[in-house]
Amino acid sequence: MYYRSSNIVARIFERQICTPAPGTSVHHARRFYENLVPNYTVYEVECPDHSFRKFTDDGQYLISFSRNHQQLIVYRPRWLSFSCKDEDCDKHDLPSKSKRFESFFTQLYCVPLASSNELICKDFFLYMESNRFGLFATSTAQIHDAPAVGGAVQGVPSIEKITFHLLRDSGNLVDVRAIGEYCREDDELFLNSNSQVMALSDKNKQHQLPGHHIENHMHQSQPNLGNSFLSGIKQRLLSFIFQGLWNEERDDSLRVQGLRKKFYFHFQDYVDLIIWKVQFLDRQHLLIKFGSVDGGPQVSRNADHHPAFVAVYNMDTTEIISFYQNSADELYLLFEHFCDHFHATSRNSMYMNFISSHSNNIHALEQLRSIKDKASNSSQFVKKMLASLPISCQSQSPSPYFDQSLFRFDDKLISATDRHRQSTDHPIKFILRRHPYSLKFKIKPGPEAGSMDGRAKKISSFLFHPILPLALSVQQTMFLQASVVNIHFRR
């Protein structure tokens, strides 16, 4: 069959004479990326010393920050163009200007975001679905020994000020809802008015009592109203846990025993839980990760060794819908079979729906189950897999080269997930999933000749364009040396 051929001309001919089955046209079109791959690399590109963040999902913008995390620099990708007079231009080296970053990207603007005492949060950037607006954040430095006042938790680094910035013309942020201490819009009003009524009632009772009882009564009836209630979200959580244990048994005596062992014994542990991370599941539901102070995000490498819990919260009804420990098999099965429901995808970009996961791709599922079968401890495997929840928004690249139906690669070294990885001096190979199972291209994150100091610990990050055969690989050491930037593209 022509379409099975790896020849792109045969594929184009097949596309002209045959119509794909209904609902498969996008899948057929994406197979052309098996032929259109980055086949050339410009190593150690001359580029500004910036921290390159990501491409927007429409591919129009490359977001970067200045190295001092004070300025936002936005680029637009463009294709390298040059002329050649000879008949066989492929044999010639590229002109010297191709070594420059400006040959591939045009700077649109540079905007100062952070003030003198703030820094840009380099791991935070969200773009709206229209791509007209970008949301950034700046913050003051973390204070590790801050006093636990104003809602702060002892042992958790405190940030004095966080500022959100909405970039582009005619845009502003509107305070819609705050969730935590209060859950409903009128919770604060109700509690304040109720405390006033209670204070007035106590005052009236004092006038009715004999004089020698007033002093004792006043001493006993002045609770700290600010600390008399747990936060609204914590109240909802405790109520859900209590009701779940209550409904497990029908016999009253067994209920009391169960509550003593499973609720009251662990009551303070539940009260001491803090929110580690939150994500939107949809417009009504939040996925909230609770954990202890000791196992917070600042020690995320060992987060699977600390007890943690995941809850689904309905913002409209202000109810906890479900509550799981991070070792629950039920939660893992939901994550395995319905992984895509944990990702918030863009409705405007159809190709964002083709990001491979173990719930939509048989190859990714086989890889996951192979790791599961090799795991010596089932509980630790579940904790490790669920440590990624909640999943950061817009943290996965929609590049077709990460489509596991098209290419096979080592996901320990590179994947669609946006995060730094331990670097390797060996090229990362992308191999065809289908016949002839050949090597299509390589990505080498370091310098072309290899690192001079093999002992230095190096980390790599990869930025793939969502549509074009274009990628950036950035390698840096832990000693604040200049980064090595390579550009991989189709020549």
Banded pLDDT at 334 (limits 50, 70, 90): very high
Banded pLDDT at 422 (limits 50, 70, 90): confident
DSSP string, 350-405: GGGGG---TTT-HHHHHHHHHHHHH-S-HHHHHHHHHTTPSPPTT-B---GGG-TT
CA separation for the pair 238, 454 (Å, rounded): 53
According to DSSP, the residues that pair with 448 across neighbouring strands are: none
* Interval 127-169: pLDDT, tens: 876 768 889 999 998 887 777 666 667 777 788 889 999 888 7
Report the pLDDT averaged over residues 50-60: 90
State the DSSP H helix or E strand holding residue 41, giving kind and residue range, or none if neither.
strand 40-42
DSSP string, 178-239: --SS--STTHHHHHHHHHHHHHHHHHHHHHHS-HHHHHHHHHHS---GGGSS--HHHHHHHH
CA separation for the pair 184, 42 (Å, rounded): 56
Q: Which residue has the higher pLDDT, 482 or 468?
A: 468
Q: State the Rg of the chain over Cα.
A: 28
- Whether the pLDDT of residue 430 is over 80: the answer is yes
pLDDT at 278: 92
CA separation for the pair 179, 232 (Å, rounded): 8
15 φ, ψ (degrees, to nearest 5) = -65, -30
Q: Which amino acid is at 251?
A: D
Q: Which residue has the higher pLDDT, 268 or 116?
A: 268
The CB density around residue 3, as the number of other CB atoms within 10 Å, is: 13
- Whether the pLDDT of residue 302 is over 90: the answer is no
Q: Which residue has the higher pLDDT, 297 or 264?
A: 264
pLDDT at 138: 94
What are the respective helix, strand and coil percentages of the chain, to the nearest 5?
A: 30, 25, 45
Report the pLDDT averaged over residues 431-459: 83
pLDDT at 155: 72
pLDDT at 190: 80
CA angle 386, 391, 392 (to 5 degrees): 150
3-class DSSP state for residue 310?
strand
* Interval 214-224: pLDDT, tens: 343 434 434 34
**pTM exceeds cut of 0.95:** no
CA separation for the pair 482, 93 (Å, rounded): 26
- Whether the pLDDT of residue 97 is over 70: the answer is yes
> 62-66, 315-319, 408-412, 421-425 — which is least confidently predicted?
421-425
* Interval 238-253: pLDDT, tens: 999 999 999 988 888 8
CA atoms within 13 A on the CB side of 121: 17
Q: Which residue has the higher pLDDT, 171 or 10?
A: 10
Report the pLDDT averaged over residues 294-319: 74
Q: Which amino acid is at 252?
A: D
pLDDT at 231: 85
Report the pLDDT averaged over residues 5-16: 82
- Whether the pLDDT of residue 270 is over 70: the answer is yes
CA angle 485, 490, 44 (to 5 degrees): 20
162 φ, ψ (degrees, to nearest 5) = -125, 130
CA angle 437, 443, 446 (to 5 degrees): 150
Average pLDDT, the chain: 83
